[in-house]
Structure 1
C-alpha cells in the first residue's frame, strides 16, 4: 500500500499560484470526483502499464506552458495548431484516460469538474498506483481557452544544463529543490533515442560518448540506438524499475547511468548534487519532497476561465 505523505502547505509568494484552490472544492457539488478519476486511471493502467508515466508527463507539460489549465488536452482546429501537436508533445499519450474520466463525471456532475482538475488528480493517482505516495490534491482549477503548439518551446529540454533548468523552473516560481524532486518523476517511463542521442554519438570533438556516462551503460544504449537508428519508437526505460515509483533514478544518476543530459546536470551544482544524494539514500525524503513540489507545481494556474464540457475543445 502506498505511503500517505502529509505535507504542510506553505503560502508561496508568487502571483501565478492559485489562492482559491481547496482540497474540499467539490465536496458539495461533486463528491464522487476522486473515486471516478481514480477508477479511470486504474482501469487504463490494468491494460497499459505505460499509462502512469504518460499521465505524470502530461500534467507536467500542461503546467509548464500556461499553468495547469488543461491546454495540453485541446485539439488543433483550423489554422490553430494546439500544444499537443507541438514537437515536444508529439509523444504524449493516454489522453483517452482523461476523456473517459470526464465523460463519467459529466454523467453525474454535469458542467462542474474542470479538465485541469481531472488531470491533476490523474497524475496523483498515477503515482499512487505505481507504488508511490498519495496526497490531498487542491482543486478548483479552471480550463484555459488558449493552446498553441509554438509555446511548447518553453518546456525544459532533455539537453538543458543546470543554468537553463534553474531559469526554466524559477520563471514558474519553482526552486532548485523543486527541480531535483520533480526530476524524480523520471523514475517512471521511457525515453526515445532522439532524446539522448547527443550523449552517445558525436558528443564532442574529443569524445564520441559523454564522459559522464558509465561506459558499459553507454554501450548498452548505443546497441539500442545506433547512430543511424531506423527502428521506430526505439529507446530505453528511464530507470531500472520504470513502472515503479521509487528512488532508483537518483541511485542510477550517481552511478553515471542517467538517460538525459538534464539528469546529469543535477550533479553539476553543489546544492542539487547534495539533494540527489539525499534522495538516493532515502526514499522517504524523496517522497516527501516530491509531494510538496507536485502540490506547488500543480497550483500554478495563471487564469483559466471555464469548465470545458469536452476536454478536447474550448467552449
Structure 2
C-alpha cells in the first residue's frame, strides 16, 4: 500500500512539473479556421471583397500580382505578411530580385485601412493577403473557396531568405517538387498552383534565356519550347531590346481558367517551370487530363491547394502580432 501511494505521489509531482509546458504549448498555437472573425469583425470578408471588386473592375491586370503576392509571402517564413514589410536599408523580402516586380502593395493597404476603420486592430495583414488572393481570383472568373483565417503577422523580413526559399521560374521538375515538399505541399499542389499563370503578365527578363542562351555552351534556345511560339516571343523580346511585358496566357491573361494546361501540353508554357510539369508522370497526367477542360474539377482543386498553401508555417495564438500598418511592425 505504501509503495502504491509513493508511485501515485511521484506521478502527481511529475504532472505538476510538465503541466506548465503543456499549457504554454497549447496557448501559443491555435488552428486556423473558417470564420475566425465572425464575432470580432463579422464584416471582415465582405469589406475585403468589396474593395477588391472595386479595384479589379478598374484594373483587372492586378488580379495576377495579388495572387502572386500570396504565393511569395507563404514560401518565405510562412504566410505571415513578411512580404509587406519595408526596410530602410532595402534588406526586406520585397527588396529581393524575385520580388522587385511584385505589384499591388497599395491595394493591401487600401483593404487594411478599410478594415481598421471597421474593426481596429483585429484583422491581420497575413489574413488580408490570403483573402485578397481569393477575391482577386474570383473577380476575374475564377473559383471561390473558403479561406481559413486566424493568422498573425511576423516581425522579420529577410532579403536573403527570399533569395533562397522562393522557387524560381527556371527550376527543373525535381527542384520544384523538392521545394514544394519542404513546405508540406504535394505534386498535385505544384501542378495546380502553377495554373495561377493563367492570369497576369511577365517581363521578358524572366524567361529570355529560353529564347537565346538556354545552353551556356552554345547559346542555343530551349528545345522544350514550341518553335512557332518561340518565334513569336522573339518578336517581343529581342536579344538586346527593352524589358517589355508579355502575357503569360496569351488571349486569356485576364480570365482565370484552365487554358493554361492546354498551353503547357502544347509546349507553350512561358517559363521553364511550366515546361517542367511535363517531366514528371504525376504532374504531366494532371496537365493532360485538364488540357481539354474540366473546369469544375480544376476550380475545386485550386481552392484546396490554395488552402494547403495558406497553412504553411503560420503564426497563431500568442505568436506574432496584428500589425496596425502592414508595411511596418507595431514597435516601430
TM-score by structure 1 length?
0.91
- Which residue does 2:325 correspond to in 1? 310
Output the CA distance in 2 between the equivalents of 1:19 and 1:164: 32
Which of 191, 212, 234 is equivalent to 1:222?
234
Task: Tell me, yes or no, if structure 1 residue 109 matches structure 2 residue 119.
Answer: yes
Output the CA distance in 1 between the equivalents of 2:260 and 2:50: 28
Output the CA distance in 1 between the equivalents of 2:273 and 2:246: 16
Output the CA distance in 2 between the equivalents of 1:40 and 1:301: 28
Which of 152, 157, 167 is equivalent to 2:162?
152
Q: How many residues align?
A: 295
Output the CA distance in 1 between the equivalents of 2:168 and 2:321: 30
Superposed CA offset, 1:210-231 (max 9, x none): 12211111001111111112x2
CA RMSD of aligned residues (A): 1.4
Output the CA distance in 1 between the equivalents of 2:140 and 2:278: 26
Task: Note the C-alpha offset of 1:19.
Answer: 5.2
Contact in 2 for aligned 1:214/1:256 (Cα 8 Å) = yes
Output the CA distance in 1 between the equivalents of 2:276 and 2:157: 30
Output the CA distance in 2 between the equivalents of 1:25 and 1:253: 38
Task: Note the C-alpha offset of 1:124.
Answer: 0.2
Output the CA distance in 2 between the equivalents of 1:116 and 1:261: 30
Which of 69, 73, 88 is equivalent to 1:58?
69
Which of 103, 116, 129 is equivalent to 1:119?
129
> What SS class does the counterpart of residue 107 from structure 1 fall into?
helix
Output the CA distance in 2 between the equivalents of 1:280 and 1:225: 27
Superposed CA offset, 1:55-74 (max 9, x none): 10000000000111000011
- Which residue does 1:299 correspond to in 2? 311
Output the CA distance in 2 between the equivalents of 1:61 and 1:111: 24
Task: Note the C-alpha offset of 1:207.
Answer: 6.7
Output the CA distance in 1 between the equivalents of 2:86 and 2:161: 15
Which of 250, 254, 277 is equivalent to 2:288?
277
My pick for the range that moved more, 162-171 or 294-303, is: 294-303
Task: Note the C-alpha offset of 1:80.
Answer: 6.0
Q: Which segments of 5 or more consecutive residues in structure 2 lack a partner in the other structure?
A: 1-28
Task: Note the C-alpha offset of 1:136.
Answer: 1.1
Greater Rg by CA? 2
- Which residue does 1:11 correspond to in 2? none
Which of 167, 170, 180 is equivalent to 1:169?
180
Output the CA distance in 2 between the equivalents of 1:235 and 1:224: 8
Superposed CA offset, 1:259-295 (max 9, x none): 0000000001111100111222322221111111000
Contact in 2 for aligned 1:68/1:300 (Cα 8 Å) = yes
Output the CA distance in 1 between the equivalents of 2:35 and 2:171: 38
- More helix per residue: 1 or 2? 2
Contact in 2 for aligned 1:141/1:301 (Cα 8 Å) = no
Superposed CA offset, 1:145-166 (max 9, x none): 0001111111000110001101
